[in-house]
Every structure is written in structure tokens, then in C-alpha cells.
Amino acid sequence: MKRLLLIFWQCPQLIIGLFLCLFFRYWKTEKINGIDIEFRETKFRFCFSLGKYVFAPKCVPKFVLMHEAGHSVQSVYTGLFYLIVVGLPSVCLHLLKKLKKKDAVWYHSHYPENWADRISNIKLDIWK
């Protein structure tokens, strides 16, 4: 019952993530913060999370995967509102970072990235 409620609670991002799973190869599953997170391999130079699905290139460092897992935990916390509360601000922040030519420390010092880092116990100076 709890699992069914969690699926409903995260429905929008899980549907999009499940659809994208058709295009990206399964990599591995890890239990992080009590949540089974499924990693999918992409050819992109960036990572993103949709519910329990993390899409990332295989060559990224472990702390980056942990950060993305933090976003998966945010999905559990924010549920139906994840795409608005976390996804949209994250995309906007990423675009601002590119436009203003800011570094990773700047990016990770802002919401929602700093929240994902705190969930995963990642210190800001690791992004230097």
C-alpha cells in the first residue's frame, strides 16, 4: 500500500522517467537514503533525475550521482509538485549558469541544488 501511494505521489516525474527509460540503457540500481534509485546511461554531458530514475553518463564521479540521488529524494518529499518546485528552478538555474558563465560552486550554492547536496551530505567545496 505504501509503495502504491508513493507511485501516485510521484506520478508525473515517474511517467516521464519511465518513458525515457525506453531510450536509455539500464546501468545499475542502488539503495540510497532508503530509496531504490535506478541509474540509466546517457550520452549527454549532463545529468537529471525524474523520480527514482537518474539519467547520467557512466563516466561521472560518484559525488555527482549522489547529488542526483538527492534530487530523487526531493521527488519523494515534494511528490506531485516536484517538477514545479525542483525541476523548473533547477533548469532555470542551469540556464542562468550558462548565460552568466558561472561555475559549479555558484550553481550548487542556490536552491534546489544546495538542498540536493545537503540530502546527499555533499559539501559545497567538492564542486571546485
Instruction: Give which of 1, 9, 18 is closest to 77, Cα–Cα.
Output: 9
Instruction: Out of 30-34, 38-42, 108-112, pick the least confident.
Output: 30-34
Per-domain residue ranges for the chain?
A: 2-127
What percentage of the chain reaches a pLDDT higher than 90? 88
pLDDT tens sequence across 61-105: 999 999 999 999 999 999 999 999 999 999 999 999 999 999 999
Confidence band, pLDDT 50/70/90 cuts, at residue 7: very high
Question: Over the chain, what is the mean pLDDT?
Answer: 94
In this structure, the number of other CB atoms found within 10 A of the CB of residue 114 comes to: 15
- Is pLDDT at 33 greater than 80 in this prediction? no
**Distance in angstroms between the alpha carbons of the first and the last residue of the chain:** 43
